[in-house]
Amino acid sequence: MKPFVLRPIAETDLSALTELVGSIADGLTSLPNDPDYLESKIHASLRAFYPRIAQPGGEHYLFVLEDLEKGDIIGTSGIQARVGGFEPFYTYEIRWEKQSYAPLRIDKDIGVLHLKRSHKGPSEICSLFLHPDYRSYGLGKLLSLGRFLFMKRFPTRFDQTVIAEMRGYINPEGASPFWEAVGKPFFDKDFYTADIISGLGDKGFIEALMPKHPIYIPLLPAAAQSVIGHVHKDTEAALHMLRKQGFAETTEVDIFDAGPLISARVGQIKIVRETRSSATAVGVPKDAQGRMALISNGKLDFRLVQCSTWFDAEERLLLSERALQALQLNPGDTVDYAFL
């Protein structure tokens, strides 16, 4: 077993989280590099794990990936129980209008961007980041897919639909062609400044400054048109992974960079459908070839590891003492597991 565990963020993680966020070259919208804001996000996450929560609200669950050997925080991932609420959730919805004129034999569909406001939206997976030094360890799946084992175990805390806003295309100069054409003329701010303001929770400027009328896509510069629904190069692997899990593109895109919004029914996500439970026992066969799996303790005080697995003659999942310790469990306790 690799010495890594996914767990809820703790109050004592502020310094490590601040250092991790500071290493992100282009910033992370949902986790801006602001110590006061990060501290507030930690406390919001602590409240999200309150045992009596029985339906999705504004809870933001923040998980961290810990290197158990070094004690370092090397990654984050999160779940927003429901988007919208006190502040609307904004997207551009692409609608198609048919334009036709028989005498000139013109018949075409024109894409139009409509600003959409959601006040009681679905759940959202967010805040995914893995330190570059650890991206060769195969930990991306643990960070991304591990959240779904938590959602499977506590379904009443989340909406039945979950979305992911995928990061949009950024050109080699570090600019968003879509933002330059659609946002900047109204905001007078560069893309990253506007994105960070939004990430810090100030959504009022969106309602006040965004264009009030639909935008005909063919009227935009070719560079802006070409990136609508396309992802940042660093996001391609994440998009591919989520597609394999059952996520599909919607008709909505991000209002800042036009990155695609993808969606799935939680119960239809592949790893959710395939997650099973098993009693455990201590043991690691010397010569057997195990199957790699995500394994969680199934508790609100969530712990999840990624390791090879075997079953004994009594159909108990065999785990090393090290894995059980990371999960904070004892032999005989039950775990949730999903093969990768």
Catalytic residues: 232
295 contacts 304 by C-beta, under 8 angstroms: yes
Cα–Cα dist 35/239, whole Å: 29
Cα–Cα dist 179/256, whole Å: 6
CB contact set of 309 (below 8 Å; sequence gap of 6+): 290, 291, 292, 293, 295, 317, 318, 319, 337, 339
- CA max distance for the chain: 79
Alpha-helical runs (H) found in the chain: 14-22, 35-48, 140-153, 177-178, 184-187, 191-199, 204-209, 222-227, 236-244, 270-274, 321-327
Hey, is 238 helix, strand or coil?
helix
Hey, is 20 helix, strand or coil?
helix
* Residue given tokens 């506590």 in the structure block: 154
Cα–Cα dist 324/6, whole Å: 13
